[in-house]
A and B are shown apart, each in its own frame.
Chain A
Amino acid sequence: MTTSAATALPEPNYLSAGWTLRSWLLTKDHKRIAILYMVSVTLFFVLGGLFAFLARLELLTPAGDMVTADVYNRLFTMHGVIMVFFFLIPSVPAVLGNFLVPLMIGAKDLAFPRINLLSWYLFMIGGTITVVAILFGGVDTGWTFYTPYSTVYSNSHVVLTVIGVFINGFSSILTGLNFIVTIHRMRAPGLTWFRLPLFIWAHYATSLIMILGTPVVAITLLLVAVERLLHLGIFDPALGGDPVLFQHLFWFYSHPAVYIMILPSMGVISELIAAFARKKVFGYHFVAFASIAIAIIGFLVWGHHMFVSGQSIYAGLVFSVLSMLVAIPSAVKVFNWTATLHQGSISRETPMLYALGFIGLFTIGGLTGVMLATAGIDVHVHDTYFVVAHFHYIMVGGAIMGYLGGLHYWWPKITGRLYPRFWSKISALLVFVGFNLTFFPQFILGYLGMPRRYWSYPEEFQVLNVLSTAGATILGVGYVFPLVYLLYSLKRGAAAGDNPWGAAGLEWQTTSPPPTFNFEEEPVVTGGPYDFSNVKEALFDE
């Protein structure tokens, strides 16, 4: 435990640089923009979580007795739309990426600070429009907006929601653009590509996907809105249109989108494993290239969402094989993280707990992904809870654990404060237990044949559903705890100092919180990342 009772933070720092609303809302400082995002994605997370919780409450009983089927359709749709577009896609890149990318490469800011701020405003505008759509009754098409239901038959607020998502897409594109240019053009002297932290490689790969994929879903959603408003027939079979074409265009982005959601968290995990095993990541080059490989191969597999859509069997075969291929770089990362742990000086700090949880849960999610890529299996479990469990293992057991781990790791740097470590470990435990209790039963349910997006189900599935809802409750509590103690730490936490974890990395060589322009003097890099030889010990003795 730290003996320092000092709560005074180093001055001047980016937080104390201005206290007015204007200084926040018109900031060009990437660190402040990261905080703006942090607050807003948290709000969206709570909203998305609320919808999930309501759906899970309905599923406590086999009969559809809490809400009508129509309302249930809206609940799971809004859960999906908000979680995917307004939480998972922005969370790690827009919060941790925005804060850390310039720091990690020794730059004063991102390449385009005003575009960065614009990014946040687009996110907020898109999010607000979507919330307005919710207030008017929401959408019932599923977050996938399949046609012709979304364009012709649905009586819900498709156009409004789709516009909100469309605008948000540009937020994502601008973030990716900013990261790519920054990483290429603004690295500190001596910081060659292979001296970059793996967090940077992961965000670079993510940005490639944002740039190449997002515009396609943007034009597709635009077409959905136009079709719905003007009664065109682009996706409507009654007018000669092809609903499968919608699926091609939609999944061309939405599959790579899942890599947008997981790659940044993988970048976080690389940092956490290195820091808390106090050892450089095993096979650095392999992990770096694996990020790029995931990004590229990820664009070649989208048809695995369409095995039963009427897509040609031959194309399905090709997509199936390519989908198996994309698992390989992810596996490489898991092996390398594990190898890093071997003979490392392991610490049981909270960020490490999240990282270890990630490795296990992501592996399960990834392996079930390979099962789904096998077309013969997918035919049986498509649109069942098996798929739901698979992607929640990756998105929640993987991506969100990465986000929370990163938040707990860099919180001292971002705020200058230490949080209560005991409660943070309790939370991590609750999240891990709650998560598994929620989603493991869903693998079984799906395998037994329970369809997804259904609000009632046969009696024999009730026990598993009750377990799942119980787990969701525990998970929810686990998520509330950090909200409380992290906010508490802002007022009562001890000052963290420059480097409380004894970690390597340029971000730890400046004050906590950093000054507005990040470094007193521009750093010059002379060696690779994860070099612990010159770093002092951590504050804590775990």
Chain B
Amino acid sequence: MSSVSADHGPRHHPALAHHFEDLEQQKEASSFGMWVFLVTEIMFFGGLFCAYLIYRRANFAAFAEASATLDITLGAFNTAVLIGSSLTMALAVWSAQMSRRKLVVLFLLATFVLGGVFLGVKVVEYGHKFHEHHVPGRHFEWNDEATEAGAEMFVSLYFAMTGLHASHMVVGMALILFLLVPAWRGRYGRDYYNPIECFGLYWHFVDIVWIFLFPLLYLIGRHGVPGAH
């Protein structure tokens, strides 16, 4: 650090970074920064949604048939779990704003657990897919020749989109672990809770992606499709 030091006021908050005027500016900057990052995430997933829409349009019957092989109960359950985790995350932010240290930890842990449940279910679902040879690439097997190419396309997109989503959840859960220790030590409170707020934004975004993935992947033409359950 240079010998030219910034002038700190007498009550310099330990979390205030040198290049910011005050905590307010720092908070505004970090929230805004997280939102800008989420915009990049919208476009990142957006590319896959674009591919999905184009191929669904071209292969609707095959997509419907392939979609019917997904387990709607597990999908709906996971949707509920993720929405629940968004609730617990929002409550974690609330707890931080209220300086309720133990509640912050509690709700962060709840979010982590629910995230874990979601991923556990996904592992089960992926297991089913591998077992049925509904995996893209060399090992793909499908019993209807007419819809085989379209079904493989659906399966490719299914794994790409849910895989990208799941990897975001894994990163999110790792980040929760990083937040737990300072949370336990009471670092987050009314005056400073940026990391909780920013992480909350990320977590809710991941939830929103799933809110769209679920109907698009699991519920295509469920009515009257043989084998739908």
Name the one of A111, A184, A186, A220 contacting B47, with C-beta atoms under 8 angstroms.
Answer: A220
Task: List, in ascending order, chain B residues with CB within 8 A of A241's CB.
Answer: 153
- State whether B25 touches A107 (Cβ < 8 A): no
Name the one of A113, A173, A240, A520 contacting B152, with C-beta atoms under 8 angstroms.
Answer: A240
- State whether B50 touches A181 (Cβ < 8 A): no
Pick from A14, A107, A186, A520 the residue with the most CB of B within 10 Å.
A186
Task: List, in ascending order, chain B residues with CB within 8 A of A523's CB.
Answer: none
A17 within 8 A of B: yes
A214 within 8 A of B: yes
Q: Dominant SS at the B interface? A: helix
- State whether B19 touches A113 (Cβ < 8 A): yes
The smallest C-beta distance from B152 to any residue of chain A, in angstroms, reads: 6
Task: List, in ascending order, chain A residues with CB within 8 A of B164's CB.
Answer: 219
The smallest C-beta distance from A174 to any residue of chain B, in angstroms, reads: 9
Task: List, in ascending order, chain A residues with CB within 8 A of B20's CB.
Answer: 186
Task: List, in ascending order, chain B residues with CB within 8 A of A186's CB.
Answer: 19-20, 25, 29
Name the one of B25, B33, B46, B152 contacting A216, with C-beta atoms under 8 angstroms.
Answer: B46
The smallest C-beta distance from B162 to any residue of chain A, in angstroms, reads: 14
- Give the tally of cross-chain contacts (CB within 8 A): 122
B160 within 8 A of A: yes
A243 within 8 A of B: no
Name the one of A18, A240, A248 contacting B50, with C-beta atoms under 8 angstroms.
Answer: A248
Closest to A14 in B: B2
- State whether B51 touches A234 (Cβ < 8 A): yes
A185 within 8 A of B: yes
The smallest C-beta distance from B2 to any residue of chain A, in angstroms, reads: 4
Closest to A178 in B: B33
A177/B152 contact (C-beta < 8 A), A215-B40, A219-B44 known = no
- State whether B28 touches A215 (Cβ < 8 A): no
- CA A220 – CA B157 in complex, angstroms? 13
Closest to A112 in B: B33
- State whether B36 touches A234 (Cβ < 8 A): no
- State whether A230 touches B43 (Cβ < 8 A): no
Name the one of B18, B36, B39 contacting A108, with C-beta atoms under 8 angstroms.
Answer: B18
A240/B4 contact (C-beta < 8 A), A109-B19, A181-B29 known = no
- State whether A211 touches B39 (Cβ < 8 A): yes
The smallest C-beta distance from A10 to any residue of chain B, in angstroms, reads: 12
The smallest C-beta distance from A520 to any residue of chain B, in angstroms, reads: 8
The smallest C-beta distance from A214 to any residue of chain B, in angstroms, reads: 7
B71 within 8 A of A: no
- State whether A515 touches B2 (Cβ < 8 A): yes
**Number of residues of chain B lying within 8 A (CB) of chain A:** 42
B130 within 8 A of A: no
**Number of residues of chain A lying within 8 A (CB) of chain B:** 47
Pick from A108, A178, A214, A515 the residue with the most CB of B within 10 Å.
A108
- State whether A215 touches B137 (Cβ < 8 A): no
Closest to A235 in B: B51
- State whether B29 touches A232 (Cβ < 8 A): no
- State whether A233 touches B33 (Cβ < 8 A): no
A457 within 8 A of B: no
- CA A245 – CA B55 in complex, angstroms? 10
- State whether A249 touches B50 (Cβ < 8 A): yes
- CA A496 – CA B44 in complex, angstroms? 46
Closest to A212 in B: B43
A111/B29 contact (C-beta < 8 A), A219-B47, A233-B156, A248-B50 known = yes
Closest to B138 in A: A231
The smallest C-beta distance from B49 to any residue of chain A, in angstroms, reads: 10
Task: List, in ascending order, chain A residues with CB within 8 A of B156's CB.
Answer: 232-234
A226 within 8 A of B: yes
- CA A216 – CA B36 in complex, angstroms? 15
B residues 1-39 in Cβ contact with A at 8 Å: 1-4, 6, 17-20, 25, 28-29, 32-33, 36-37, 39
- State whether A185 touches B32 (Cβ < 8 A): yes
Closest to A249 in B: B47
Closest 5 CB pairs of A and B: A240-B149, A516-B2, A219-B47, A215-B44, A17-B2
CB-defined A-B contacts under 8 Å, sample of 9? A111-B19, A173-B40, A186-B25, A214-B40, A215-B47, A223-B160, A230-B136, A234-B153, A241-B153
- Residues on A close to B: CB < 8 A? 12, 14, 17-18, 107-113, 173, 177-178, 180-181, 184-186, 211-216, 218-220, 223, 226, 230-234, 239-242, 245, 248-249, 252, 515-517, 520
Assuming A109-B18, A242-B55, what are 19 further A-B pairs, CB within 8 angstroms? A12-B4, A108-B6, A111-B29, A181-B32, A181-B36, A185-B25, A185-B32, A214-B43, A215-B43, A216-B43, A216-B44, A218-B47, A219-B48, A219-B164, A223-B47, A223-B51, A230-B136, A249-B50, A515-B4
